[in-house]
Amino acid sequence: MWIYLVVFLAAFAVDTIPVFAPPAWVLLIFLVVKFHLNPWATVLIGVAGSTLGRYVLTTYIPKVGSKIINRREDRNLRYIGSKLGQAAWPAAIFIFLYTLTPLSTTALFTAAAIARITAWHILPPFFLGRLFTDGVMVYSGKYASGNLSGLLHGQVSWKTIITLVAGFLVIGIFLFVDWRHLLEKHKLRFNFNILKR
């Protein structure tokens, strides 16, 4: 079906961009809800598109990185990349766990690309982590939107309310937990000021 090609291309496009772009899971939720797509197929195809997009990002970033990144930031990215390249299994585990957070993987892939790490060392754990994360987000978003629609049309039940609250709770955890603070300092902190001013 043609709409699954749109799913692939949308996920691919946002993950080839080296600057802030909407996360692919937001587009996947929109497409699942708007076109009544199979969530399993959408997640699998979308994550494949995201993975290919990140691969493309790693191929062109080294060529343009020196032109758009200052020398100090280039050294920082090379340092992160060298740490990722030192040990394959710890790096793969780190990438998998990092991908489970809602933090942007753009910096991770930019650092790996500038340090000239082989993309095939980071793509499999990225793919697996994104399958899980995007799957949770797409299912949460689908159920939340479906139950919100039912709630607006007067179809209220305890299942509707519980599912709606659970869906918003999962999305809220991803959006409002200060993940960097949690990963660096091992302390849970919330940040409700997420919109750019």
Give the domain ranges of the chain: 2-134
What Å distances lie between residue 125 and 15, 29, 96, CA to CA?
16, 22, 5
Report pLDDT for 183: 62
Q: Sort 168 into a burial class: Cβ within 10 Å, 0-12 / 13-18 / 19+.
A: middle
Q: Which residues of 151-161 are buried (b: 16+ CB within 10 A; e: fewer)?
A: eeeeeeeeebe
Q: Sort 99 into a burial class: Cβ within 10 Å, 0-12 / 13-18 / 19+.
A: buried
Report pLDDT for 196: 44
Report pLDDT for 107: 74
Report pLDDT for 70: 64
Report pLDDT for 40: 93
The residue length of the chain stands at 197
Residue type, 70: N
Q: 135: which 2 tokens?
A: 């799957």
Q: 124: which 2 tokens?
A: 């499999």
Low-confidence ranges of the chain (pLDDT < 50): 151, 195-197
Report pLDDT for 118: 79
List Cβ neighbours of 22 (8 Å cut-off, separation of 6 or more): 14
User: End-to-end distance of the chain based on CA atoms, in angstroms?
Assistant: 40
Q: DSSP character for 16?
A: S
- Say how far apart CA 25 and CA 138 lie, in whole Å: 6
Neighbours of 86 (CB within 10 A): 10
Q: Which residue has the tokens 């062109």?
A: 60
